[in-house]
Amino acid sequence: MNAPLPSTIVPPMLVMDHVTVDFDGFKAINDLSLTLESGSMTVVIGPNGAGKSTMCDSIIGRVRPTSGRVLFHGQEIQREPEHRIVSRGICRKFQTPGVLTGLSTIDNLVIAATADRRWWKSFTNAGQDEARARAETVIEQIGLRDRAEALAGNLSHGEKQWLEIGMVVATDAELLLLDEPTAGMGAVESTQTAGLIKTLIGRHAVLVIDHDIDFVAQLNGHVVVLHQGQLLREGTLEDIRNDEEIAAIYLGRAK
Ligand SMILES: Nc1ncnc2c1ncn2[C@@H]1O[C@H](COP(=O)(O)OP(=O)(O)O)[C@@H](O)[C@H]1O
Ligand SMILES: [Mg+2]
């Protein structure tokens, strides 16, 4: 006799199911399948042009998969507009800093917190108080307390990057997509960024794209290697480092 099916099967947080993104005959993503669990950390590595940013774009609804499905908590989202996907609880940080330079650091965070998916609340006083409280928490988390009143435009490059991560965190999205959060940073700032990102997991699931192996090692997450739009391997960084094919294609070149 077959075992009875459990009455509730909880689907994974995010599933990419055989996703292909075809740009006029060029497959930037090619039959990619990937599962992300709530509260987890996944690090996507791969050479330039591997399709890492396009993968993020296809999750957040900026590009449409030509085929395949993207499921968030079991629901298909691959045909939804970006704002709808954001309202479900997925938020993306872009490769380049996009802070509001004419506003203070704390106000940037308040605005991001106000853009929370529980948007209707943001028009009430309680919503405003909540957004400010959230901004105050996040500014501690990103280490910019003493820069709270500085204009965002006057922050250093690294501080701007942290503010941008903070703005994503302030939305309180369940899944945070961070595309090259250490772009333009030196080793010390990168290490601080890894420490910051590690504090996010649990409350959030985080997908980080980066190609700096030292930074990836510090994150200590589940590593996914993309190559020519395909998932070449996944596992711990140790597994990946010990893989000769990967070493030849990617790690060897990165050294
Ligand atoms: N909108 C687009 N139209 C055509 N080709 C694109 C588009 N976006 C990205 N590509 C191509 O898809 C490939 C993957 O790009 P991308 O996802 O940005 O790679 P990565 O982030 O890994 O460096 C690259 O060859 C890039 O030129
Ligand atoms: Mg990219």
89: helix, strand or coil: coil
Q: Rounded to an integer, what distance in angstroms lies between the CA atom of residue 34 and that of residue 19? A: 9
Q: Rounded to an integer, what distance in angstroms lies between the CA atom of residue 12 and that of residue 144? A: 34
**Which pLDDT tens digit goes with each residue over 104-113?**
999 999 988 8
Q: Which residue has the higher pLDDT, 255 or 162?
A: 162
| 51 CA: nearest ligand 1 atom | 17
Q: At what angle do helices 125-141 and 105-114 cross, to 10 degrees?
A: 130
- Ligand nearest the Cα atom of residue 28: 1
User: Residue 50 to residues 215, 228, 245: CA-CA distances in angstroms?
Assistant: 19, 5, 16
The residue-averaged pLDDT of 239-249 equals: 85
**Please, are residues 179 and 93 in contact by the beta-carbon 8 Å criterion?**
yes
| 63 CA: nearest ligand 1 atom | 1
- Ligand nearest the Cα atom of residue 55: 1
Q: Which DSSP string corresponds to 28-40?
A: EEEEEEEEE-TT-
Centre of ligand 1 from the C-alpha of residue 195, in Å: 29
Centre of ligand 1 from the C-alpha of residue 27, in Å: 9
Question: In terms of pTM, does the model score above 0.85?
Answer: yes
Residue nearest (by alpha carbon) to ligand 1 atom 27 = 49
pLDDT at 60 over 80: yes
Q: Rounded to an integer, what distance in angstroms lies between the CA atom of residue 71 and that of residue 207? A: 15
Using alpha carbons only, what angle is made at residue 120 by residues 36 and 177, rounded to the nearest 5 degrees?
Answer: 25
The pLDDT value recorded for residue 7 is 67
**Which pLDDT tens digit goes with each residue over 192-236?**
999 999 999 999 999 999 988 899 999 999 999 999 999 999 999
- For ligand 1, say whether the CB of 51 is within 6 Å of any of its atoms: yes
Domains of the chain are: 92-173 (3.40.50.300)
| 229 CA: nearest ligand 1 atom | 14
Which token pair is 63? 């590009």
Centre of ligand 2 from the C-alpha of residue 185, in Å: 16
**Which pLDDT tens digit goes with each residue over 116-161?**
555 555 566 677 888 899 999 999 999 999 999 999 999 999 999 9
Q: What percent of the chain has pLDDT over 70?
A: 89
**Please, are residues 21 and 58 in contact by the beta-carbon 8 Å criterion?**
yes
CA dihedral sign of residues 245, 248, 254, 255? positive
